[in-house]
Amino acid sequence: MSLTPTLVLGENDMGPPETVAMVERAGVTLVRVGEVHTARGIIDKVRCVGSVLGLDDRVAELSSGELEPAARVLGRLREEVTLKPRVAFLLQFRDGAPIGAGRDTSAQGLLDMVVADNVLADFEGWKPVSMEAMSRAAPDFVVITERGVRGAGGAEAVLSHPALSLVLGNGKGDNRDRLIVMDRMAMLGFGPRTLTTALELARRLHGVEEAYTRE
């Protein structure tokens, strides 16, 4: 409030409620932006923010030039893929254990967008994954954030972690390509960058040519 805002934009789960109520009592316009973890949800989110800010023309240009074409390519991928790659999505390491994405997470939404099976969907939210659980999950690929890799001490440290060496074979030979490292916010922010990042992730997971990921 010391910044004297005239508008506060937030996601639908912003809080705590007491703080939100304080902002509203101060007479500041507060807008909650819906969050749906799909390609269409991203486009709707961008349009909502553009409308609130009076940038409808700019958003229309962005949607027609970049967002809608990307969404159509992802939709075509969904129609054509017959065998989904099995993927474990890791956020970071905590106390030596990888933190994996279960169902009802933004990562689950991203994997759905790129037509991949979340091998950790037997639990909900973000939780530590044991060596035994990772071995049972047997992912074809492991997707991890750049920040998670840095926190673990680099890619070699990740590849040699006991839970991952079980499924990635210590990153030897072609197995190294099964570890995919990408920017966290680009993957999970569910803004415009998430659509373009999803195209790149789909290319790497499905082994399709780059031309396929562009209209």
pLDDT over 50 (residue 211) = no
Q: Which residues pair with 93 in a beta bridge?
A: 98
What is the Cβ-side half-sphere exposure of residue 203, based on CA atoms within 13 angstroms? Answer: 14
DSSP code of residue 13:
T
User: For the chain, first and last CA: distance in Å?
Assistant: 45
Q: Sign of dihedral through CA atoms 103, 107, 108, 111?
A: negative
Pairing label, strands 117-118, 86-94 = parallel
pTM of the model: 0.88
Nearest-angstrom CA–CA distance, 60 and 36 = 20
How far is Cα 169 from Cα 30, in angstroms, rounded to an integer? 50
Only one residue has tokens 């709707």, namely 44
* Nearest-angstrom CA–CA distance, 115 and 58: 30
- Amino acid occupying residue 176: R
Separation between Cα atoms, residue 11 and residue 39, nearest integer Å: 17
Distance, in Å, from the CA atom of 19 to the CA atom of 8, rounded to the nearest integer, reads: 12
pLDDT digits (tens, 9 = 90+) for 132-191: 999 999 999 999 999 999 999 999 899 989 889 888 875 555 567 899 999 999 999 999
Tell me: the pLDDT tens digits for 94-144? 998 999 999 999 999 999 999 999 999 999 999 999 999 999 999 999 999
Indicate the residue type of 123. Answer: F
